[in-house]
């Protein structure tokens, strides 16, 4: 069933958002490297497509700074979230700027802003206006650990390196490359299909072709997709939004790396309700 209440984004607006996402991920993945291997951390890209045509989302690096206190807060409702370093110090570390920024905007593109915040170090939100991020009320859950110690301290936190298991892509056994997918639809260099193992009433998966991945491989250090691959998947968002099952939001996301939940080496985007 198709719902056409409102167009998601104009092509120009979507291009601006994609460009901001790509530049933000590249900046952060290079700054949050494992000091032993020089590799960027696993990370998540999440985008919510709302029924009124609006979009917001975030980038989240898996830097492993959560402890029992944070998990108790999720599981039992007590405890609190505490940051090992403040958002302000992380902003200074990422940007290299000395002057302050009360809004913690990393970069802007067109009408879009990349805003540092959330309940984990390094999380960046993609919004049109700062009030969209502020309206989430995330920082009211942070109750400690936010002493200002400076960007040098943030850099030292990266010495608490993480294990980064590797997924090896083998086209001759990859079900995506072999076409072992449910109801595939070809869209240029990409394939859209139904997730056969879906716990959701509507769940699409977008994968780049094997040929495209060979031409534009992922970056070995940052773990990020080539812009040709990432932008190609994200440009299919309006089509996915039009195909949604119910007139409500669509949740889209990409896992980069094992620690973010990626289980298939072949890059892919999830869109679900």
Whether residue 233 is found in the same domain as residue 185: yes
Q: What is the CATH number of the domain that holds 234?
A: 3.30.428.10
Q: Which of 41-55, 94-108, 205-219 has the lowest mean pLDDT?
A: 94-108
Residue 264 has what pLDDT?
92
Question: Per the domain annotation, does 151 fall within a domain?
Answer: yes
Residue 3 has what pLDDT?
45
pLDDT, tens only, 207-224: 999 999 999 999 999 999
Whether residue 142 is found in the same domain as residue 214: no
Beta strand segments in 111-243, E: 112-116, 124-127, 142-144, 182-187, 190-194, 203-208
Confidence tier at 144 by pLDDT (50, 70, 90): confident
Q: What does pLDDT average to over the chain?
A: 90
Number of domains in the chain: 2
Sign of the CA dihedral running 270, 199, 245, 249: negative
Query: Taking 70 as the threshold, does the pLDDT of residue 127 lie above it?
Result: yes
What average pLDDT does range 21-32 have in this prediction? 97
Whether residue 150 is found in the same domain as residue 21: yes
128, 157, 186 - which closes a domain: 157
Q: 102 to each of 118, 135, 141, how far by Cα in Å?
A: 14, 16, 19
Max mean pLDDT among 72-86, 133-147, 151-165, 209-223 falls in 209-223
Q: Which two tokens stand for residue 155?
A: 């850099």
In total, the chain counts a number of residues equal to: 273
What average pLDDT does range 96-112 have in this prediction? 89
Whether residue 19 is found in the same domain as residue 93: yes
182 strand-pairing partners = 194
Q: How many CB atoms lie within 10 A of CB 185?
A: 14
What is the Cα–Cα distance from 259 to 34, expressed in whole angstroms?
13
Question: Per the domain annotation, does 163 fall within a domain?
Answer: no
Q: 168 to each of 8, 176, 244, 247, how far by Cα in Å?
A: 35, 14, 32, 38
157, 188, 223 - which closes a domain: 157
φ and ψ of 13, to 5 deg: -65, -40
Range of the domain at 249: 175-272
pTM of the model: 0.93
Parallel, antiparallel, or unpaired for β 124-127 and 112-116?
Answer: antiparallel
Confidence tier at 6 by pLDDT (50, 70, 90): low
């Amino acid at each position: 069933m198709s719902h056409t209440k409102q167009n998601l984004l104009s092509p120009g607006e979507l291009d601006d958002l994609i460009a901001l996402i790509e530049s933000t991920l590249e900046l952060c993945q290079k700054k949050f490297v494992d000091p032993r291997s020089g590799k960027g951390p696993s990370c998540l890209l999440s985008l919510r497509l709302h029924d009124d045509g609006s979009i917001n989302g975030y980038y989240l690096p898996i830097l492993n700074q959560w402890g029992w206190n944070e998990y108790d807060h999720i599981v039992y409702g007590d405890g609190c979230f505490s940051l090992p370093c403040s958002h302000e110090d992380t902003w200074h570390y990422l940007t290299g700027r000395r002057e302050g920024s009360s809004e913690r905007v990393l970069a802007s593109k067109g009408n879009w802003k990349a805003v540092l915040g959330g309940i984990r170090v390094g999380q960046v939100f993609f919004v049109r206006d700062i009030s969209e991020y502020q309206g989430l009320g995330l920082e009211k859950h942070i109750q400690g650990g936010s002493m200002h110690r400076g960007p040098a301290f943030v850099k030292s936190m990266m010495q608490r390196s993480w294990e980064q298991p590797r997924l090896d892509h083998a086209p001759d056994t990859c079900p995506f490359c072999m076409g072992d997918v449910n109801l595939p639809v070809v869209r240029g260099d990409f394939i859209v299909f139904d997730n056969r193992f879906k716990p959701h009433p509507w769940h699409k998966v977008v994968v780049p072709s094997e040929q495209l991945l060979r031409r534009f491989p992922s970056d070995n250090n940052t773990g990020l997709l080539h812009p040709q691959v990432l932008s190609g998947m994200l440009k299919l968002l309006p089509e996915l939004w039009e195909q949604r099952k119910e007139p409500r939001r669509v949740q889209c996301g990409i896992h980069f790396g094992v620690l973010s939940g990626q289980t298939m080496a072949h890059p892919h985007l999830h869109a679900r309700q």
